[in-house]
Structure 1
């Protein structure tokens, strides 16, 4: 289940605009997600109505699936679902004290459709807060501009968790609006920031390594990530599908080089090749090979040192991923 902000503006005198928004709302519910909403304009009202209708038809309480924010001192564009008052007087970028608007900050993916300056502002806030941004270009407007800019950053932002062709589907000329809506919502779920962290380390019986793994898990949980490793009993051959899949879906990896196992270096190399953020740790006294000796490494003598170092690194990654 993903929390998806859908923002924009369309000409609702056009049948294709009305049809697409209806399908988009249906897909949010059909695929099991929640709508975040700006509650500011006709578009916000239309997408909330579509999600509300889809939820009601399935016997789902709309208040559990629609959360809208309205800026302070403004009238809400609708009262569907749960409507909350923003702590901000406005969501523009011109205010002296800048804060990410709640609908953007709470979103796990941001979809923008059509629109003008307000939609472009929402897209820019998504970038500032490092949120996955999915501009649907079929209706032109600010979403087309946002798509062009976001595509330039594709490798850095989405590489390793999304194929470029999947993202470029946002730029398709739609012959089937229902399929376009289905693809957009599915992509929003797929591209949301992962909470999974893959631990790459020796499966040694050394109690220090067991304690290190527990430290990995503890620190990750503090930042609402889930850390796990592929149990060595599943391994066969050079590399198992579970390891490749785990690296691919991870938000980042933690690699401990203390025992200098070849598979650990190999898996760390795979993560680097997939452009995954990574944290390297090693017990104090570990002599690292020349090709990784200059990689920033947390050297630890005890678990307190390890956890303190991990917290600093995980906090940096969490911030960069909009957590």
Structure 2
């Protein structure tokens, strides 16, 4: 909207044609934009409605169907840290008591780029768990992607772990040790599945 040459409610343009830019700078900026667009188009890739079954068998990334009794665990991966592995073991154990198979990114068999398979796991797993201990950027990214799909993520963190601003509004209970983690996760899964755990 204009009123006697004044733009109302809009900041004036910051770029001027009088200010030149070096070709190398322009090329760098262009390539950065293309890289960002490639990432976005990867996330927004639309799956054709009718994919032949044989093609799905060869490439599970093409399917975005729901897989019952599956869980994808998003957490820091550090096999040199025994405590970290114990936490993952607790997640697997609790899910298995409800007949749910839980996996983490480093356990996934794949022939393609691992990030594509992670995206597929997030899209198709029945349950998603995010452990925010140690504030891993990849975990925040994966949880953000899950939220963009409208999926709920069960979140936990070790006592004293900071939560960044974008997830502050979400329920993310703390656990002091493995015993407490198992206890709160089992209660959550009983409510989420409306089932009693096996052997307990």
TM-score interval, normalised by the smaller of the two chains: 0.5 to 0.7
What secondary structure, in the 3-state scheme, does the structure 2 residue paired with 1:198 have? strand
Correspondence for 1:306: 181
Distance 1:261 1:208 in 2: 16
1:186-201 map, 5 Å: 194-201=68-75
1:278 Cα deviation (Å)? Answer: 1.3
For each residue in 1:260-309, what CA deviation from the matched residue of structure 2 results, as whole angstroms up to 9, or x when unmatched? 01100000111111222211011000111122123111211111100111
Q: Which TM-score applies when normalising by structure 1?
A: 0.38
Distance 1:310 1:195 in 2: 16
Unaligned runs of 5+ in 1: 1-162, 170-189
1:234 Cα deviation (Å)? Answer: 8.1
Picking from 99, 106, 113, the partner of 1:231 is 106
Correspondence for 2:140: 265
Correspondence for 1:89: none
Alignment coverage as a number of residue pairs: 134
Change (3 A) 1:303 1:246: same
Q: Which TM-score applies when normalising by structure 2?
A: 0.59
Ranges of 4+ aligned residues in structure 1 off by more than 2 Å:
163-166, 190-193, 232-235
Change (3 A) 1:294 1:230: same
Is the CA contact 2:66–2:126 (under 8 Å) kept in the aligned structure 1? no
Unaligned runs of 5+ in 2: 1-45, 51-63, 196-200
Distance 2:165 2:136 in 1: 15
For each residue in 1:171-214, what CA deviation from the matched residue of structure 2 results, as whole angstroms up to 9, or x when unmatched? xxxxxxxxxxxxxxxxxxx9666111000001123222111100
Distance 1:220 1:284 in 2: 22
Distance 1:241 1:304 in 2: 34
What secondary structure, in the 3-state scheme, does the structure 2 residue paired with 1:285 have? coil
Asked which structure has the greater RCO (Cα within 8 Å, sep 6+), the reply is: 2
What secondary structure, in the 3-state scheme, does the structure 2 residue paired with 1:286 have? coil
1:115-264 map, 5 Å: 194-204=68-78, 205-231=80-106, 240-264=115-139
For each residue in 1:38-90, what CA deviation from the matched residue of structure 2 results, as whole angstroms up to 9, or x when unmatched? xxxxxxxxxxxxxxxxxxxxxxxxxxxxxxxxxxxxxxxxxxxxxxxxxxxxx
Distance 1:259 1:267 in 2: 15
RMSD: 3.0
